[in-house]
Amino acid sequence: MSAPKKVVLAYSGGLDTSIILKWLQTEYGCEVVTFPADLGQGEELEPARAKAELLGVRPANIFIEDLREEFVRDFVFPMFRANALYEGQYLLGTSIARPLIAKRLVGIAAATGADAVAHGATGKGNDQVRFELAAYALDPTIRVIAPWREWSLTSRTRLLEFAEEHQIPIAKDKRGEAPFSVDANLLHTSSEGKVLENPAEEAPPYVYQRTAHPEDAPDAPEYVEVGFEAGDPVSLDGAALSPAALLTRLNELGGRHGVGRLDLVEGRFVGMKSRGVYETPGGTILLAAHRGIESITLDRGAAHLKDELMPKYAELIYNGFWFSPERDMLQALIDRSQTRVNGLVRVKPYKGCASVVGRWSKDTLYSESHVTFEDDAGAYDQKDAEGFIKLNALRLRLLGKRRS
């Protein structure tokens, strides 16, 4: 295969992607376009511009974009309408970020005339699959370069030697082995590898960066009222907020109270199991609140069908199929279910928990007159239950007679 002429690289400005940048230049002799995306990871991205220029990237080929609002509005919120949890626990914080990054890589490639995109995901993980499936779905002709599957820099020593050979600045703390790997965005922080590789050992306290330890969280709870329209959160305590601003506020609240910690051994799409430590404070509050408003606005049949479909939907996102027809089909069903999911939910974050303690909606299906233990004024005739039970018991009684 001929060498690419121009490559758009998902670039953080860190050591690994800086090595990839230089490797692309030396291996292929190609022009490199760098793309650091601000997804709310909490890092200043302007140093990435200076680093890219230092490594020979023309200023016109450096794209830095703030994608926080698009990330939350068009990716996080649609996912939360489904109450998506991978393997019953993981809120998919890393998984849901990859299709947006891939979308912009492909878009920048089209805008700059690049014939390839590149990423820094390793050949052992899920991210390589997510980036590449999304890229191919959006541009079937795009070429994807994955250096970790191609180069001979297979050890930390070789990476550092390459960096020194090509005068890539190396921070002093990067010369040794990092204690664990971190991926962060506005939805979560993910930590894995090194000190976390033995699932029998409790994660060291320093792994947690976004949340207080629940034991050290405030002794008094706080309350927050989340307003929903058509299944999406739109306000906190009566104040309308943009998607990114709302999630930022919930992150601060949840982090303060130690909400959203998860230590999980999960099944990777590529076949192996891995151990990750996740912090999703705002997302955990949001999931509780969304389930709270659905509990009074969704019909039982619709709610139970959503719960049956959710594992498939979550698996599609985890495995990298955001831009697939089956995800689109499920999204249409999910979004149709949300048209009357409107109202307010009061959540109490406290000592690592996010408890729903109140919910109101003009579209509520909850009827106090039907469920009251007091006089229901004829709203429900309890005698009707006898025939209901007999009809449902008929097949069980026939089975019982056959057994006897």
pLDDT tens-digit series, residues 65-102 = 999 999 999 999 999 999 999 999 999 999 999 999 99
C-alpha distances (whole Å) from 68 to each of 98, 102, 141, 187, 340 are 13, 15, 28, 10, 27
252-290 pLDDT tens trace: 999 999 999 999 999 999 999 999 999 999 999 999 999
| Residue spans in the chain of domains classed CATH 3.40.50.620 | 6-73+97-176
CATH of domain 182-298+340-360: 3.90.1260.10
Q: Which of 53-67, 93-107, 170-184 has the lowest mean pLDDT?
A: 170-184
Rounded mean pLDDT, 303-325: 98
Domain 6-73+97-176 matching CATH 3.40.50.620: the answer reads yes
Say how many C-beta atoms besides its own lie within 10 A of residue 304's C-beta.
Answer: 11
Rounded mean pLDDT, 162-174: 84
| Residue spans in the chain of domains classed CATH 3.90.1260.10 | 182-298+340-360
Q: Beta strand 224-229 with 232-236: parallel, antiparallel or unpaired?
A: antiparallel
* CA-wise closest residue to 320 among 131, 186, 121, 125: 131
C-alpha distances (whole Å) from 234 to each of 76, 77, 279, 397, 398 are 13, 11, 23, 51, 53
Give 230's pLDDT tier (boundaries 50, 70, 90).
very high
| Per-residue confidence (pLDDT) for residue 370, from 0 to 100 | 81
Say how many C-beta atoms besides its own lie within 10 A of residue 378's C-beta.
Answer: 7
* CA-wise closest residue to 188 among 281, 109, 65, 73: 281
Q: In the chain, what percentage of residues exceed pLDDT 90?
A: 88
Question: What global pTM score does this model have?
Answer: 0.94
Return the structure tokens found at 297. Answer: 């606005």
- DSSP three-state, residue 266: strand
> Active-site residues: which are they?
16, 98, 127, 181
Give Cβ neighbours of residue 59 (< 8 Å, ≥ 6 apart): 49, 53
Rounded mean pLDDT, 171-186: 78
The amino acid at 108: I
Give 173's pLDDT tier (boundaries 50, 70, 90).
low
335-391 pLDDT tens trace: 999 999 999 999 999 999 999 999 999 999 998 878 777 777 778 888 999 999 999
Give 233's pLDDT tier (boundaries 50, 70, 90).
very high
